Structure 1
Amino acid sequence: MDVDPEDHNNLQAYAQDALDHVVADTLTTAQRYAGFLVSKTAITSVTVAGGRLYSGGKRFGKPAITVQDFITSLPIAGKKIVSVVVWGQEVDTNQTPREFLLNEETGASEPRSVAMTKARIANVQFASGTEAPDPTPPIIDVGYTRVANITLSTTGVEKIEMIVANSVENLDYIGDRTDSLELFEAEAKPKISTLSSDLAKLANQLKATASQGLLERMLQRLAVIEFKDQIPQNAVDSYADYFLGQQYVNLTHPLSHCKVGEGVRFPDYNATDSQLQIFDPLNPKVMIKGGVMFPAYDRQIWQANNRYASEAQVAGYSYQSFQMVEKTMSRQRVRYGSEFTVCTNNAFWATGTYDYFTQTFKRGDETFKVSDPLVIDNQVINFDAAGNAINHSYLRLKQIFVDSVDEPYWDKVTIPHTVNGAQVAETFLQGQDIWLDAVGLYFTRLANAGSMTVSICEVTKFGTPNLNSIISHTTLERDKMQLYPAETVVGLQPVFLQAGKRYAILLTTAADHWVGMTAGEDFTSGTFFYVLDGAYAQGDGTRDLMFNLYRAKFRQNRTVIEFSSLSLAGGMLSIDINADVIAPGSTQLTYEIQPQGSGTWYNLLDVNNYVLGKGGSIPVLSGFRAVMAGTVDMMPVVKISGSSVRVSRPDVTRTEISQPFTLPAASASIHVIERYEGIDTNHHFAGVRLRTGAGYNTVVNPSASTQETGVDELGQKWIERHYVFGLGAAVASYVVQHDATTDTPLITFHTAWMKTYGL
């Protein structure tokens, strides 16, 4: 076979072209360098190590070092910058003598010197800048690559700065950085994606905390001054009732015909109670889970701690009976109607004298757990079993009352659980508000039978799981468990986790199940706990439970859900909605109605468009819906199971009978002061009588009365009327009877408070 000399050249050319393509396609086509480390080796000299230059997809090399002494080029008075630059050049090298055939027949030849190597050489040069007090690097042509800047002073080399931006990065290093970035993205992306919800929540909180505490404190102090001004010092005794409770009201008296709630109000003439019910159960915009109405959502991974390192035997720890207390969703109450005239006594909720939660949120025959509040600077702070402050917020506008509990879960109504077995727990810090929909677990060994109880709970102030603050509780059956590496996803009743709080995953079982564990350094925002001798041992910092957290990713940021219509024989003038609600600060839940004959939906919070009884028309039927607004990361929810919706129409007469007031010494001069708010004497009557004698059956009319009138900041007229009863004989006890009427249920008023004393 003939061999063409060009074949050998082509072999090299093909290999070189292939390498050039690899560099250009996968590394860089720009001018970049590798190596060429510049170091100071003497006072006035530097050494440049060998290196490689990549330019236009080609590789140029210089294996030898370069030494440069600046002794003859140091600045005279100031400083100057010398740049180390490299540039590439293709040269023919390695000149070697070779015999060249001159005559094929005679075989005559002669030696010639030829270049045996075509090399790509990287050249190193030093470009000097101008001397100056504050020098700048020299300007170099585009064909050169700047490797380093050397600052020279009058005495020698002062500083060397490598130009890292012009260096080529190692792919292994880039891979490590990419792995770190992907890990960070997996952990941070879900949290960052919810920042819009968190910022909206923060903004709403700042608005809501404007100065309500200061206003309440001011009203309390004004009330004390008012109280002192109107009660004479020579009074035998005195009583005051702000009608925030029923301490001084006898609702069981045969003549009693009234409602007590932030004042004495007209009772219902007709009323009906029902439960929130979705008009279309197949509505794809909504999900019902455990009786709770959620806007439609998809399950999405939120947090992962699933790098296997070891395993733990749950049954290897102490077996015992665990008493758990599950907290329930807190509540919101919305009252809408012309009868809800604003009462100035609502500021007295903050004194702690009255049980705000029971009076406001109790439904039917429920028994509320009563806890002693803490009063700090006249501000009442209630605490739940976990030591969390249960604060509340309320809105009082003409014709609309809204009461909400700030804590998403409370222990006023609880569900007890008793679970037997061994228990382990993993705590974690929650960075953003989420709805937790499921927990992923990893089982390395499974017993043939035996379920596991999976709970989510809050933690104590010491960081340990709090079994008295369970917020989600479910049972995982054996046939649903899978062996590692498969993940066992445990669906939960979706539970709201607040940003900045710590929670714990509790696993309790009597079966010999083993769970996967990660190394302690892999998960730094939680602690693994186990129970020994009936108590949680100190947390194990060397390992953590393998788990994944799944959140609800909502499909829309606004959802409108229509409920079954509201109706009342004779017509409705009031709506009272009492439901378990969680509406984080970045969300909003409102209700709308569409009275019969109207083509418009009216939001209950729109006080400028009050519609019930508008124009004298009292609707018998009304459409009813909820508007849920937020973000795809966070939405409000409503528990329709157990909720209460009361529609009513007030009566036109009312009578309030007080409990007997007993004086320490008999008195023949009894005084009663009452404040009427929202009163219009063109439509309303209000009066007081005294009941004395045996069985308090002797009715006494006032002998005199005086009054003051005014208009409050909401435009409501008020009257403070002072009744004086001159009795023929002194009495040691008496009962106050209050009577009131209105000529139409469309216009009502209330009694804000009553004060009485004897002289």
Structure 2
Amino acid sequence: MYQRVTIGEGEHFREQDVSNLGTFPQVGDEMLTEDWLGTARYRGFATVKDGQNAAVVSTGAAYVNFRQYALEAAVTISLVAEKPLIAGQKRVVILAAQGVDDRPAPATSRDKTVEVPDGAGGTTTQDIVVTTSPYVRNVVEVAKLASGLSTQELDPVVPANVVPFCRIVLDVNGIVGDPEMLDDHRIKSVNDLDAIISQQGAVLDVVRGEVQALRNDLVGISGFLKSTVSYATLDQIIYDVATLKDVNDIGDTGAPYALDRLANDSEVNTAHPDFKGRVDEGLQAPYAAEDRVPLSLFNANDIRLMHQDKGVLFPAYDPEIGHIVHSTGQTAPLGGTVTQTMQLVRMHMTRVRIRYGGYYHYMNPLLWHPLRYQTDIVYRVWAQQAEAFAYPYGYYINRYPYWNRYWRYGVIVDRYVYSYDVWRKTNLTIQGVIKGQTWLQSQERYIPAIRLGLINWENGAEITVALCKLRADGSPDPEKVLQTVTLTSSSFVRYVRGKDATMTRFAFPVPAHVGREGVGYLTSVTGNVTVAMATGDQFLGGNYFESTDGNFFVGSITQDMAHAVEYCKFRATTLDVRLNNLSLSGGVQNVDINCPAIVPDNTGVAWQANSGGAWKTMANLPADETAPDPDPTEVFGVGTTATYDFRAFLTGNEWVMPVLELSGSERTAFRSDDDVHYISIPRSVPSGTTWAKVVVTATIPKYDAVRHTLSAKIHHGTALTTVVNPDGAPVIKPVPENNAVEVTWEFTVDPANDVYETHVLAATNNIAFPIAVSKVFSKVIE
């Protein structure tokens, strides 16, 4: 060790010297442990079952903060208290070694010299026998770290100052299977490490052999390609490589080719004064005229609707109690003086988007999205005009799997499968005594109110109820709140056991939709309030929770709040709701509706306009995948009628109906322009390339040779001011992609310039046959 005690002849030991005899080796050993083992490591502790309710842990050692702790005798760990009581529930228990410093060894006798009076006013020494501990030990105590109850196997949180060594799963019968030793923290011996290194060396030898074989194969392939591949094949390979690069958002700088599939405007020079178009799943003609407003009711006082003042289209209903839990005579404090603060995140309705008209004649997600799991579909599809969501771009990438699209010629229906999400994040803070109640919801319903059985309260008390979804462990999730409401003591009603009407009703501003899932509510109380309680066997469908610190919950399966959950029972199962008219000076040709909505299973919304004296459906939600392709001119004809009556036709059943949030919607009636002008960002020619030609290929969907005109040009030179026109007429080739064509132009350019800019111009002589560009490819030829 790097320190040792020294003493010369005749020198006396001090107490500090004696202490250093023990501490110097200990410090040196800890430094050696830090260098070789680190912390949170263990050896031994082999664990086996002792029946179904206990486990035996053998001897071993743990290293915590580089200090060694020992378990010198096997111990039996009882798991009776951690066993679940309800079938189907599980709990995970982690056994961990916890170090205890300086535990005294068993006492023994020692002689000790002490001073005693000599009877003559002085002192003398005398040897006596004392009982003392001759040394101390660093020992291991086995700690049980238990998770909450859940139908899933959820591991508990492991503190930083213990060493986990065994994982045990419990159900109502006791230990499931055998205890699982946790090898991540086990100390590996030199022999173990030698075996691992030998295995890795063998793998590397195999890899070296495979690499050499691949090199040999590449030599053969290279020779084969040089003798067999045609220029046409190489051109196709170049196009495929350009496609793969664009799909994966890899830039084209320095490459002799470039492809823009117009998934976004990153490769479009939208700032150029000659640019004209809308980049929206391709380059489309801009709007020549538009009317963009929120959806609104034609009759705001329609008695068939409720909650119009909250900006929603909500069919009228009567509240009915869905389930109720009455007290069994017990009570519990719902409020008190020890308060916590909890942050809530309010969820909002997700959106549907309906697009109808000849303008939408080719858009298809397969033509434009990058790798499916990387598409931020919330921004791409559901963002409204100039809208910025609460989270930065990219947060919603994992929402892509929940997007459904129905696409037909002239109709696009986009829908999100969940009713609520946090696209617009609203933070709420509640402060008080925080408790909760959960239950399993077996059917889709709307919940207009929660009722609580309040026994007594002090004046000025206040209760906030927040309806929410549940975490994976079954506890209320404050980051997924659906609705909140707050009442003061003046609105409380004293509960009488067994009487529904005496429960205090907490009515939400707008009923919240819940699916077939776990649901719960949080209560935050200021002031002293007492709530009636029921024993656990009174209500087996949920659990009662108390918050310990405003973040975590402790659940109970033996008691529940006295409460009731109301459901909406709708008065009508079909409802035609007039909305304000679709209007546009000069005529409506197309419509785009972007609306927060809830459309439960077995319900539907038909968006209809009155055309030719009859209500005609533009789109159904959910869409019928088996329906024939619609005629996008059936409703709006050639786009010359300025006003149409407009409605939403709702269908459902007595328990679920569609709901629309009009205040957060956007309805655009528009007529398209008749031309587009695509301009690429400047493209750089690879260094050292002597280029003489540029080839440009544009894909034009639904091409009509009679009505559509196409042209292209290249800008290059200093400041891209030199204009080059094509060498001749373009080559037009049909492709099997929505009746599209590929139009190819060839240009002769000045090799002295090394940057070029692609321009593609397209126009239609009849907006009933709209023009668009779905992608543009260019390459330079030496």
TM-score by length of 2: 0.63
Which consecutive unaligned segments of at least 5 residues does structure 1 have?
1-223, 375-379, 384-388
* Counterpart among 680, 686, 690 of residue 710 in structure 2: 686
Deviation of 1:563 (Å):
0.9
After superposition, the C-alpha distances for 1:119-173 in whole angstroms (9 at most, x for unaligned) are xxxxxxxxxxxxxxxxxxxxxxxxxxxxxxxxxxxxxxxxxxxxxxxxxxxxxxx
Q: Deviations over 1:653-694 (max 9, x none)?
A: 221222333454365243332211111111012333222233
Q: Is residue 312–residue 514 contact of structure 1 (8 Å, CA) maintained in 2?
A: yes
Question: Is 1:489 aligned to residue 508 of structure 2?
Answer: no
The residue aligned with 2:682 is 660
1:57-456 matched pairs, under 5 angstroms: 227-228=239-240, 236-289=255-308, 290-316=310-336, 318-346=338-366, 348-349=368-369, 351-369=372-390, 382-383=398-399, 391-456=402-467
2:732 is aligned, of 707, 718, 738, to 707
8 Å CA contact 1:433, 1:496 repeated in 2: no
C-alpha contact 2:335 2:432 (8 A) present in aligned 1: yes
CA contact (8 A) 1:529 1:536 kept: no
Separation in structure 2 between the aligned mates of residue 280 and residue 310 of structure 1, nearest angstrom: 50
The CA RMSD measured in Å over matched residues stands at 2.8
Q: Secondary structure at the match of 1:604?
A: strand
- The amino acid across from 2:559 in the alignment is R
Q: 1:415 to 1:540 in 2, by over 3 A?
A: same
Distance 1:232 1:426 in 2: 51
- Note if contact 1:422-1:509 (Cα within 8 Å) is conserved in structure 2: yes
Q: Distance in 1 between matches of 2:658 and 2:287?
A: 31
Distance in 2 of aligned mates of 1:334 and 1:666: 51
- Match for 1:725 among 741, 747, 750? 747
Q: Report deviation, 1:393.
A: 0.5
Listed as ranges, the gaps of 5+ residues in structure 2 are 1-235, 246-251, 497-501, 621-628
Distance 1:687 1:495 in 2: 56
Measured at CA, do residues 365 and 650 of structure 1 come closer, stay the same or move farther in structure 2, by a change above 3 Å?
Answer: closer
Q: In the alignment, which residue of structure 1 is the partner of 2:655?
A: 633
Please state whether the residue corresponding to 2:422 is helix, strand or coil: strand
Q: Does 1:756 align with 2:778?
A: yes
Q: Specify whether residues 441 and 615 from structure 1 end up closer, same or farther in structure 2 by C-alpha distance, changes over 3 A only.
A: closer
**Deviation string, structure 1 residues 150-209 (Cα, Å, up to 9, x no partner):** xxxxxxxxxxxxxxxxxxxxxxxxxxxxxxxxxxxxxxxxxxxxxxxxxxxxxxxxxxxx
Which whole-Å CA distance do the structure 1 matches of 2:615 and 2:344 have between them? 45
Query: Does the CA contact (< 8 Å) of 2:588 and 2:636 recur in 1?
Result: no
Structure 1 position 524, deviation (Å): 1.7
SS in 2 for 1:315: coil
TM-superposed CA distance for 1:495, in Å, is: 4.3
Q: In the alignment, which residue of structure 2 is the partner of 1:52? A: none
- The corresponding residue for 1:42 is none
Kept in 1, the 8 Å contact 2:438–2:543? The answer is yes
1:65 matched residue in structure 2? none
Cα shift readout 1:504-538 (whole Å, capped 9, x = no counterpart) = 20101222222221111212221211111343233
- One-letter amino acid of the structure 2 residue matched with residue 356 of structure 1: I
Q: Which moved more, 1:604-613 or 1:416-425?
A: 604-613
Kept after mapping to 2: 8 A contact 1:327/1:415: yes
Q: Are residue 562 (structure 1) and residue 578 (structure 2) matched?
A: yes
Give how far 1:450 is off: 3.0
Q: Take 1:315 and 1:499, find their aligned partners in 2: how far apart are those partners? A: 30
Cα gap change, 1:537/1:361 in structure 2, threshold over 3 Å: closer, same or farther?
closer
Q: Which amino acid aligns with 1:603?
A: T
State whether residues 618 and 635 of structure 2, in contact with CA within 8 Å, keep that contact through their aligned partners in structure 1: no
In 2: Cα distance, 1:456 partner to 1:450 partner: 20
1:231, 1:238 within 8 Å by CA — same for their partners in 2?
no
Which residues of 2 match residues 604-623 of structure 1 at below 5 A? 604-605=618-619, 608-611=630-633, 616=638, 618-623=640-645
Deviation at 1:309, TM superposition (A): 3.3
Offset, 1:468: 1.3
Is the 2:335–2:528 contact (alpha carbons within 8 Å) kept by the matching residues of 1? yes
> How far apart, in 1, do the equivalents of 2:594 and 2:262 lie?
21
The 8 Å contact of residues 430 and 497 in structure 1, kept in 2 or not, is answered as no
1:317 deviates by: 7.6
1:263-298 CA-partner distances (Å, limit 9, x unpaired) = 111101111111211111222222235211112211
Look up the equivalent residue of 2:385 and give its one-letter code: G
CA distance in 2, matches of 1:621, 1:231: 44
Closer/same/farther in 2, CA of residues 295 and 730 from structure 1, 3 Å limit: farther
Q: What is the CA distance between 1:731 and its match in structure 2?
A: 4.1
Aligned to 2:491: 480
The answer on whether the counterparts of 1:368 and 1:412 sit within 8 Å (CA) in structure 2 is: yes
Alignment of 1:737 onto 2:759: yes
SS in 1 for 2:380: helix
**Following the alignment from structure 1 to structure 2, what is the Cα–Cα distance between the partners of residues 391 and 327?**
16
How many angstroms apart in 1 are the aligned matches of 2:243 and 2:474?
A: 52
Q: What is the deviation of 1:757?
A: 3.4
**Structure 1 CA distance, aligned partners of 2:641 and 2:779?**
45
Q: Distance in 2 between matches of 1:737 and 1:418?
A: 54
- Tell me which residue corresponds to 2:31: none
Structure of greater Rg? 1
Cα contact 2:639–2:671 (8 A) shared by 1: no
Q: In structure 2, do the counterparts of structure 1 residues 748 and 548 end up closer, same or farther at CA, with 3 Å as the change threshold?
A: same
Q: Report the 3-state secondary structure (helix = DSSP H, G, I; strand = E; otherwise coil) of the residue aligned with 2:398.
A: strand
Q: Secondary structure at the match of 1:734?
A: strand
Local SS of the residue matching 2:766 = coil
Q: Distance in 2 between matches of 1:689 and 1:476?
A: 69
Give the letter aligned to residue 334 of structure 2: V
Residue 600 in structure 1 maps to residue 621 in structure 2: no
* Aligned residues of 1:441 and 1:488 also touching (Cα < 8 A): yes
Q: Indicate conservation of the 8 Å contact 1:435/1:494, yes or no.
A: no
CA contact (8 A) 2:345 2:428 kept: yes
Looking at structure 1, the residues matched to 328 and 316 of structure 2 have their Cα atoms a distance apart, in angstroms, of 34
Number of equivalent positions: 521
Paired residues for 1:14-33 under 5 Å: none
Within-5 A mapping of 1:462-541: 462-485=473-496, 486-541=502-557
* 8 Å Cα contact 1:259/1:265 also seen in 2: yes
Deviation at 1:437, TM superposition (A): 1.1
How much does 1:230 deviate? 7.7
1:231–1:711 CA distance, 2 compared to 1 (3 A): closer
Question: Alpha-carbon deviation of 1:314?
Answer: 2.7
| Aligned residues of 2:352 and 2:413 also touching (Cα < 8 A) | yes
Distance 1:487 1:266 in 2: 60
Normalising to structure 1: TM-score of the pair? 0.64
Q: Is the 8 A contact 1:341 1:750 kept in 2?
A: no
Query: Does the aligned pair in 1 maintain the 2:373–2:398 contact within 8 Å?
Result: no
- Once the two structures are TM-superposed, the CA of residue 343 in structure 1 deviates from its matched residue by 2.7
Contact 1:408–1:496, Cα closer than 8 Å, also in 2: no
